[in-house]
Amino acid sequence: MNSNRDAILARLGSSSSPVSGDALAQELGLSRAGIWKHIQSMRKQGIRIESFTGQGYQLRSDVLSPAMFRRELGDSLIGSECMVVNEIDSTNREAMRQAEAGANEGLVIIANRQSEGRGRLGRSWHTAEHDSLALSILLRPTLPPEKVPQLSLLTAVALHKALSSFAPGISIKWPNDILYNGAKVAGILTEMRAEPGCVHAVVIGIGVNIRKPEEGWPKEITQRVTDLSTASRRELSRLDAAVAIIRAMESSYSEYLADGFAPVREAWWQAHAASGHRVRAHGSSGYVEGIAEALDDDGALLLRVDGQLQRFIAGDIELMDMNSQTWMDRSR
């Protein structure tokens, strides 16, 4: 998409009401005929732009463009450069390829579709075109490799803050799920390139269900899931969610670099769905039941099991309803 069309989309996407052809022409330095030709060309590409007599044009498709993010984010570090692609194998893989090619910290990559979207432990991540937000953020922190798991927890805190601005009832579930009333609405995948004592690049992958696909959730998804539009009881766009997430990440990352991990850990624990409650933790050697008592500096969950603290650094947990003793949620 050329720069003029990108700029038109950005202007229309920033307005909740129609924008006149005269205003677009004046702002972009084009003729009204030129604006009309670009609008027609985008319509042929499947982008829904409605015309209202005497009022102008209004964007009806949930589309994204780099100019939209430049307009919304200004001079923030995260989102200083945004790439929006139609289809890709994985936004995390592309972000890592860009990192290896020398891309700057703060690069954000967003895809409409992922052919090989991934979650934690090699699981697949379903990306429904225009109904899901799939984005990756490139960071280059001055950290030892053993501290990188803190960035996953930081991201969970930022996601909790961003999504809570749309819907109450958002919580975190160890290690990397974001829930709405017990159903998964978003997930996180963190990857890095490092050598002993030195981190070269960290890629934070974020997936958010924006709305339920028209054909329903894929059958291979067996856990409880929901979407942000349902949770907020209003129609949300991917731009709404992406801008809120990037702004929250910018704020959380800046605070982390200035103040360290302690504030992140406290915020994470306050937002965690199972803090102080009984859980069943699944690991490579089976499962145990205990009380979620604390979060360690490396992201390990500390459980009180038969009076002793045990560390869990990987796996999944089930959240137990303390009143009915039934299982509330299971992430498989």
For 66-271, CATH gives 3.30.930.10
In sequence order, what are the beta bridge partners of 187? Answer: 177, 207
Instruction: Say if CB 206 and CB 177 are below 8 A apart.
Output: no
In sequence order, what are the beta bridge partners of 109? Answer: 83, 136
- CB atoms under 10 Å from CB of 198, counted, come to 11
Separation between Cα atoms, residue 132 and residue 70, nearest integer Å: 21
Instruction: Say if CB 202 and CB 249 are below 8 A apart.
Output: no
The mean pLDDT value of the chain amounts to 88
Q: Which residues of 276-293 are buried (b: 16+ CB within 10 A; e: fewer)?
A: eebbbbbeeeeeeebbbe
Return the CATH number of 278-329, one of 2.30.110.10, 2.30.30.100, 1.10.3210.10, 2.30.40.10.
2.30.30.100
DSSP state of 103: P
Residue 161: CA atoms inside 13 Å, Cβ hemisphere, count? 20
Q: CB under 8 Å to 281, separation ≥6 — which residues? A: 287, 288, 289, 290, 301, 303, 312, 315, 316, 317
pTM confidence score? 0.86
Among the ranges given (1-15, 48-62, 110-124, 269-283), the one the predictor scored with the smallest mean pLDDT? 110-124
Place of tokens 């969950």: 301
The pair of structure tokens assigned to 146 is: 């053993």
**Can you tell me the mean pLDDT for 297-324?**
82
Distance of CA 238 to the CA centre of its chain: 10
Give span(s): CATH 3.30.930.10, the chain: 66-271
Separation between Cα atoms, residue 10 and residue 67, nearest integer Å: 6
**Can you tell me the mean pLDDT for 196-218?**
91
- Give the pLDDT confidence score for residue 123 in this predicted structure: 56
pLDDT in tens, 99-142: 999 999 999 999 998 887 555 545 555 566 678 999 999 999 99
Which amino acid is present at 185?
V
The topology under which CATH files domain 3-59 is Arc Repressor Mutant, subunit A (1.10.10)
Give span(s): CATH 1.10.10.10, the chain: 3-59
Instruction: Say if CB 222 and CB 184 are below 8 A apart.
Output: no
**Can you tell me the mean pLDDT for 295-313?**
91
